[in-house]
Amino acid sequence: MKALTKTDFNFPGQKSVYHGKVRDVYNINGEKLVMVATDRISAFDVVLPEGIPYKGQMLNQIAAKFLDATTDICPNWKMATPDPMVTVGVLCEGFPVEMIVRGYLCGSAWRAYKSGVREICGVKLPDGMRENQKFPEPIVTPTTKAEMGLHDEDISKEEILKQGLATPEEYEILEKYTLALFKRGTEIAAERGLILVDTKYEFGKHNGTIYLMDEIHTPDSSRYFYAEGYQERFEKGEPQKQLSKEFVREWLMENGFQGKDGQKVPEMTPAIVQSISDRYIELFENITGEKFVKEDTTNIAERIFKNVETFLNR
């Protein structure tokens, strides 16, 4: 099994390229973006040394499916998916914040709560909550979008407005879209026997209109629990059975890595890489309700270039 961890394409009309943690984004004539979902995997804002076979294909196909399933809620940037690992879309000017929405108290929010924090991003949390407990209503806890190598920071609505990262009118739309998309994602997950626990959305503007950008409801941007047994596990204080990247973070933490200075990423053996790939396939099939069809990985870069070039030359 081969993994695509690096791209260096030169597409027709290409102006620039941005290499993110997981995606490589090519600017075409200042009008379109070609977004390649690589097989890189990141945790604690660190790109891990080994790629995960088929991860990019899975992420791209899940995101494409959910972008298509939410066009009635808000416009999104997707134009086409010329390759299983590629989405081509409208070039938007992104807001420098990520809209994170949480339906349950877990992950970093739980870690903060456990240490005594009772307010996240300006949202007050009641005393006496337990790990994985459902909030009465989903809460929006935005973060700043950090540059490569830096950590995203929590930010409140008030601070976003004060810093001029969005106008009051824009923020109202961002929050409205965030909650509506989360509601739709929750409904789709429930049909598949899953709980959408938390997720993040990114938005940008194109010709004055706010668009949903990037990925949506993928295991890299979202956390899912299995609905079956949730209540029982919660009452017993047991860990939830979940489908998300959290299992990768847990494996890293067990092996002494949390992205802090001086810490070393544990060895990613072929068995570990294989197990992560298998977990992503499990998530794909559970969340989409479809069988995952592995694409030919003989020469991934060549395949992508050919497919994208054909699309752009149309």
8 A C-beta contact, residue 308 and residue 12: no
Mapping DSSP to helix (H, G, I), strand (E, B) and coil, where does residue 28 land? strand
Give the pLDDT confidence of 109-122 residue by residue, as tens digits.
Answer: 999 999 999 999 99
Gyration radius (Cα) of the chain, Å: 19
Give the pLDDT confidence of 6-30 residue by residue, as tens digits.
Answer: 999 999 999 999 999 899 999 999 9
Count of beta carbons in the 10 Å neighbourhood of residue 86: 25
Kindly report the pTM of this predicted structure: 0.90
Position 25 in a domain? yes
Q: How far apart are CA 195 and CA 186, in angstroms?
A: 6
Given a cut of 90, whether residue 220 has pLDDT beyond it is: no
Residues 180 and 118 in one domain: yes
Position 20 in a domain? yes
Q: How far apart are CA 87 and CA 23, in angstroms?
A: 11
Query: Looking at the 3D structure of the chain, how many domains does it have?
Result: 2
Where in the sequence is the domain holding 115, given as residue range(s)?
A: 94-243
The reported pLDDT for the residue numbered 149 is: 52
Q: 117: which 2 tokens?
A: 């924090």
For the purposes of burial, counting CB atoms within 10 Å of the CB of 258, is it exposed (0-12), middle (13-18) or buried (19 or more)? exposed
Position 282 in a domain? yes
Count of beta carbons in the 10 Å neighbourhood of residue 6: 11
Residues 99 and 88 in one domain: no
Residues 145 and 236 in one domain: yes
Residues 99 and 84 in one domain: no
Position 156 in a domain? yes
